[in-house]
Amino acid sequence: MTRILLLGGTGDALRLARTLSADDIYSLAGLGTVPADLPCQVRVGGFGGADGLARFIEAERIGLLIDATHPYAAQISANAARAAALTARPCWALRRPAWEAGEGDDWREVDDWAALVAALQPFRRPFFTLGREPLAHLARIPAHQHWTIRCLQALPATEQARIIGARGPFALDQERLLFEQLGFDVLVSKNSGGRSTEPKLQVARERGVPVLMLRRPALPPVTRTFADLETLVQALASAPDRQP
Ligand code: NAP
């Protein structure tokens, strides 16, 4: 049976890992928790770039590489495509469609942190929901701003920042309450797509709060892409070389 190497670090990847076989390998970067109850093998940590990944694929006789990493994890996705090409193995990727602005949305796309800081200038109470990056800039918060940062890591508040440690999914009522209590005047987000963190966008719309959206990175072409987990699982189940 074709041996799978699944690159993970997302909820969808974890769900996919739960459908794999004992011979398959689920790979994590090592930033979050490592599940101990999977039917497949689990490995943690980088491979050492595309070349390291290619060596791993050869050494472990991997037959199919599946990239189910986050849409903003551009480096590992590039490495996956390159390693698959180097080893002449197929690479499948789960690529969640981006969210799209609708009626009543005020979304402003920014390319990077510098553009984001400039676009934030008119606001006083931003709500950051794009991971750890703002933590590196706590010493340079403009005097007129108070930041709320939601990321996986809970940290003590500073005079100008509150850091909420939380992991999605986030329910609509929960998000409404947070916006109400903390009075955000702008939301800062990646365009992650998917349902689990989408309610914040609805609340921003309801409250007329603008959204500063970090633009998605370009991802490399691969053998097959899937827009949702179910389609990928079906394709895997019907692949002749996956029958035991
Ligand atoms: P990245 O910049 O694309 O990758 C940085 C390096 O981390 C890679 O070059 C690779 O090291 C290692 N790496 C990443 N994913 C790996 C995996 N699944 N297995 C083994 N090594 C991995 O990634 P990132 O943005 O720092 O994200 C790190 C992880 O967090 C990813 O797995 C991603 O799915 C998850 N995640 C990211 C975000 C986000 O917003 N970026 C959000 C949620 C979850 P080597 O070059 O040494 O192989």
By three-state DSSP, how is residue 65 classified? Answer: strand
Give one DSSP letter per residue of 148-167, joined into a string.
Answer: EEEESS----BTTEEEEE--
161 within some domain: yes
- Say whether both 175 and 234 belong to one domain: no
- Say whether both 209 and 120 belong to one domain: yes
**Total of domains in the chain:** 2
pLDDT of residue 241: 82
201 within some domain: yes
Interval between CA 67 and ligand 1 midpoint (Å): 11
pLDDT of residue 240: 79
- Say whether both 118 and 210 belong to one domain: yes
Interval between CA 48 and ligand 1 midpoint (Å): 12
Cα angle, residue 68 at apex, residues 126 and 83 outer, rounded to 5° = 120
- Say whether both 209 and 222 belong to one domain: no
Q: Name 43's Cβ contacts closer than 8 Å, sequence gap at least 6.
A: 25, 26, 27, 28
Interval between CA 87 and ligand 1 midpoint (Å): 21
pLDDT of residue 242: 80
Nearest-CA residue for ligand 1 atom 43 is 70
Could you tell me the two tokens for 157? Answer: 């508040």
- Residue 5 CB–ligand 1 contact under 6 Å: no
Tally the residues of the chain: 244
By three-state DSSP, how is residue 82 classified? Answer: helix
- Residue 29 CB–ligand 1 contact under 6 Å: yes
Pairing verdict, β 64-67 and 91-94: parallel
- Residue 199 CB–ligand 1 contact under 6 Å: no
CATH number of the domain that residue 203 is part of: 3.40.50.720
Give the mean pLDDT per block of 10 residues along the chain (244 residues). 95 96 97 90 98 98 97 97 98 97 97 97 98 96 98 94 95 98 98 95 98 97 97 93 71
Owning domain of residue 112: 107-214
pLDDT of residue 97: 95
pLDDT of residue 243: 63
pLDDT of residue 197: 94
pTM attached to this predicted model: 0.94
Angle between helical axes of 172-182 and 199-207 (0-180°, round to 10): 50
Bridge partners of 94? 226
- Say whether both 115 and 91 belong to one domain: no
Rounded distance, CA 29 to CA 36, Å?
15
- Residue 115 CB–ligand 1 contact under 6 Å: no
User: Best substitution site from 75, 135, 219 to test ligand 1's pocket, by max atoms within 8 Å of Cβ?
Assistant: 75
pLDDT of residue 244: 59
- Say whether both 199 and 235 belong to one domain: no
- Say whether both 137 and 93 belong to one domain: no
Interval between CA 106 and ligand 1 midpoint (Å): 30
By three-state DSSP, how is residue 242 classified? Answer: helix
88 within some domain: yes
- Say whether both 193 and 238 belong to one domain: no
- Say whether both 209 and 172 belong to one domain: yes
49 within some domain: yes
For residue 130, the ligand 1 atom closest to its alpha carbon is 40
- Say whether both 208 and 225 belong to one domain: no
28 with 42: CB under 8 angstroms?
A: yes
- Residue 129 CB–ligand 1 contact under 6 Å: no
Nearest-CA residue for ligand 1 atom 45 is 46
- Say whether both 235 and 204 belong to one domain: no
pLDDT of residue 207: 98
From the CB of residue 103, how many other CB atoms can be counted at a distance below 10 Å?
Answer: 5
44 within some domain: yes
- Say whether both 85 and 34 belong to one domain: yes
102 within some domain: no
